[in-house]
Structure 1
Amino acid sequence: MAEYTPKERLARALTGQPVDRMPAVSVTQTGTVDQMEACGAFWPEANNDAEKMATLAEAGHTVVGFEAVRVPFDITAEAEFFGCEIKDGTKEQQPSVVGHVVKTVEDIEALRGYNLDHGRIGVVCEAIKILADKYGEELPIMGSMIGPFSLAQHINGDEWFMAIFTNEAFALELMEFTTDFNVAYAKKMVENGADTMVIIDPTASAQLIGAEFYEKFVVPFHKKICDAMHELNVPVVLHICGDTTQGLALMESSGVDGISVDQNVDAATAVSKVEKAIIVGNLDPVNMLWNQTPEAIREQSQKVLDAGVGLLGPGCGIVSKTPTENLQAMVEMAKSHKY
């Protein structure tokens, strides 16, 4: 079989075409303190400065060996863009959303007319352009964004889960708004050079809200993003936290090309629950990648590979203190695997 560039290999793997071997990538966040110290770009500055963001993303390739570059590192840029209060991150910790801006349909209306060149959304898009200009011919350029359901929660706050049960009109209006934003943002990332899109929608779980509500408030909105990306020949990977086993078929029904599952999901069971989408994952980022030895990581990686995953990777975002040699053990196992 022909050898492929990393860019070709990932695109083929995500769309079900034969490849020479497994790509070695992480669809979830890649930044670590080891990489920061190696490249000189540190959080929190690397979350806010396009050059530093690109430099730290590049370290995932040059230091760790991932065969892709990916931005951003956190999931708060979108909420900050719409005026939510953000608790600043540190060198080791990501920022978090602590204040919310929408309670009514009128509040949603007030957020319209945004400019995607502004704020950290603009920074992420600029970082993608920097990375694409340097690596776009060879490496996959992954754009990532928080999904529309979790963005709605960030904007609305803890009331969001009650809203989907008791105020359907408002909830659907907010979902339409966040999804339209997601589509516009994703298209902007693609215009700047992204060729793979990752939706991180941590609270959009059928286990959490039930299959009926997932089908109403999540599937059609994820499908809208997938359709927009597929029109541009951009594959889409979806990550939802927790035990998503019972919701995998619903997740796949939105048209995603890959589903990233976390460590609470049995990998072999996940593979059996989908028809076309590839399963991505699912090494425990804390108990395995951060706190175990390279030898233990190789052993667990082999078990996950034997389960039939399409891409070996972390079960969630990589912990910032994860040792480089541990990530390299995972990369080594992926590169040595032939389907």
Structure 2
Amino acid sequence: MTEYTPKERLARALTGQPVDRMPAVSVTQTGTVEQMEACSAFWPEANSDAEIMAKLAEAGHTIVGFEAVRVPFDITAEAEFFGCEIKDGTKEQQPSVVGHVVSSVEDIGKLKGYSLDHGRIGVVCEAIKILADKYGDELPVMGSMIGPFSLAQHINGDDWFMAIFTDEAFGLALMEFTTDFCVAYAEKMVESGADTMVIIDPTASAQLIGAEFYEKFVVPFHKRIVDAMHEVNVPVVLHICGDTTQGLKLMESSGVDGISVDQNVDVATAVGSVEKAVIVGNLDPVNMLWNQAPEAIKEQSQKVLDAGVGLLAPGCGIVSKTPTENLQAMVEMAKNHKY
């Protein structure tokens, strides 16, 4: 069989085409303290400086062995862009959203007319350009962003979950707004050099809001992003946290190419629940990748591979204190696996 470049291999794997072996990638965040120390690119600076961001993203490839480069490392840049208050991150901890800016349809109107060149959105796109210029001919360059449902929650706060049940007009208006932004942001990342898109929408769970509301407030909006990416031949992976088993068919109905599942999902069940989507995951980032030894990680990796996973990867974002040798054990298992 033909031996593919990492870029060709991932693109083919995500679109159901034959490949020589499994790609070794992480679709969720890749930054760790050991990588930071090895390449002298640290959080929190790596979240807001394009050169440092690209340098740490590169370490995922040069130090860990991932066959892709991916930015950013957190999911707060989008909310910060719209004026939400952010709790600063540290060398070991990612930033978080602590203040919100929208409580009415009128508030949504005040956020329109933005420029994607500003703030950390612009920084992420510049980091993608740096990585694409250096690696784009051979390695996949992954752009990642928070999904529109979770961005709506960041902008509106915890009232968001009640809003979709009690004020449909407001809920749909905010979803239209966040989705318009997500499409524009994704397109800008692709223009900057991204060739693979990851949507991280942690709270957009059918288990959390129910299938009826997921179908109304999530599926059509994810589909708009996916359709926009497919128009420029960019595959899309969707990650939603928690036990998404019951919602996998709905997740797939948006047209995504890959579905990243966390450690609460049985991989064999997930594989049997979808028609075309590639199942990605699902090594426990805490109890396995952070806290176990390489041999235990290899053993668990083999179980996930035997269950039929399409791409072996962490079940969620990698914990910053995860040892490099543990990630390398997972990478080795992926590289040695032939479908």
Structure 2 counterpart of 1:273: 273
Measured after TM superposition, the shift of residue 83 of structure 1 is 0.1
> 1:283-331: per-residue Cα shift (whole Å, max 9, x none)?
0000000000000000000000001011000000000000000000000
User: Equivalent residues in 2 for 1:164-243 (5 A)?
Assistant: 164-243=164-243
Mapped partners of 1:113, 1:41: distance in 2: 34
Q: Partner of 1:41: helix, strand, or coil?
A: coil
Match of 2:291 in 1: 291
TM-score if structure 2 supplies the norm length? 1.00
- C-alpha distance in 1, partners of 2:96/2:147? 16
Q: What's the counterpart of residue 48 of structure 1?
A: 48
C-alpha displacement of 1:68: 0.0
* Equivalent residue letter for 1:327: L
Separation of aligned partners in 1, 2:319 and 2:199: 19
Q: CA deviation at 1:29?
A: 0.1
Pairwise CA distance, 1:90: 0.2
Q: Distance in 2 between matches of 1:317 and 1:284?
A: 10
The letter of the residue matching 1:236 is V
> What one-letter code is carried by the residue in structure 1 that aligns with 2:254?
S
For 2:171 and 2:162, locate their aligned partners in 1 and report how far apart those are by CA, in whole Å. Answer: 9
Matches within 5 A, 1:85-100: 85-100=85-100
**SS across alignment from 2:157:** helix
Q: Deviations over 1:107-152 (max 9, x none)?
A: 0000001000000000000000000000000000000000000000
Greater than 2 Å deviation, 4+ residue runs: none
3-state SS of paired residue (1:100):
coil
What is the identity, as a one-letter code, of the residue corresponding to 1:126?
A: E
Distance 2:70 2:52 in 1: 13
Q: Is structure 2 residue 114 aligned with structure 1 residue 114?
A: yes
Please give the alpha-carbon distance, in whole angstroms, between the structure 2 residues aligned to 1:232 and 1:308.
29
Q: Secondary structure at the match of 1:27?
A: coil
SS of 2:38 mapped into structure 1: helix
Q: Equivalents in 2 of 1:208, 1:273: separation in Å? A: 19
Q: SS of the residue aligned with 1:29?
A: coil
User: Which SS does the other structure have where 1:194 is aligned?
Assistant: coil
The runs of 5 or more residues in structure 1 that have no matched partner are none
Whole-angstrom CA distance in 2 between matches of 1:143 and 1:30: 12
**Alpha-carbon offset, residue 277 of structure 1:** 0.2
Letter matched to residue 73 of structure 2: F
- Structure 2 portions without partners, runs of 5+: none
Taking only the aligned residue pairs, the percentage that are identical comes to 90
Q: CA deviation at 1:205?
A: 0.1
1:133-152 to 2 correspondences below 5 Å = 133-152=133-152
Letter in 2 for 1:106: E
Deviation of 1:84 (Å): 0.1
Amino acid at match of 1:55: K
Displacement of 1:3: 0.1
One-letter amino acid of the structure 1 residue matched with residue 10 of structure 2: L
Cross-structure match for 1:254: 254
In the aligned structure 1, how far is the partner of 2:183 from the partner of 2:308?
31
Measured after TM superposition, the shift of residue 15 of structure 1 is: 0.1
Instruction: Tell me the alpha carbon deviations over residues 72-127 of structure 1, each in whole angstroms, 9 at most, x when there is no partner.
Output: 00000000000000000000000000000000111000000100000000000000
Q: Give CA-to-partner distance per residue, 1:152-196, whole Å, 9 cap, x none.
A: 000000100000000000000000000000000000000000000
Measure how far apart 1:215 and its partner are: 0.1
- 1:37 aligned partner: 37
Cα distance in 2, alignment partners of residues 295 and 223 from structure 1: 40
One-letter amino acid of the counterpart of residue 68, structure 2: A
Letter in 2 for 1:329: A
State the match for 2:59 in structure 1. Answer: 59
Q: How many residue pairs end up in the alignment?
A: 339
Secondary structure of the 2:334 match is helix
Post-superposition offset of 1:38: 0.5
Alignment partners' CA distance in 2, 1:312 and 1:167: 40
- The match for 2:81 is 81
Once residues 270 and 34 of structure 1 are traced to their aligned partners in structure 2, the CA distance between those partners, rounded to angstroms, is 33
Equivalent AA in structure 2 for residue 15 of structure 1? T
Residue type of the partner of 2:111? L
Deviation at 1:334, TM superposition (A): 0.1
Distance, in Å, in 2 between the alignment partners of 1:68 and 1:221 is: 27
Q: Match for 1:290: what amino acid? A: W
Partner of 1:306: 306
Listed as ranges, the matches of 1:9-24 within 5 Å are 9-24=9-24
Matches of 1:168 and 1:305, distance apart in 2: 42
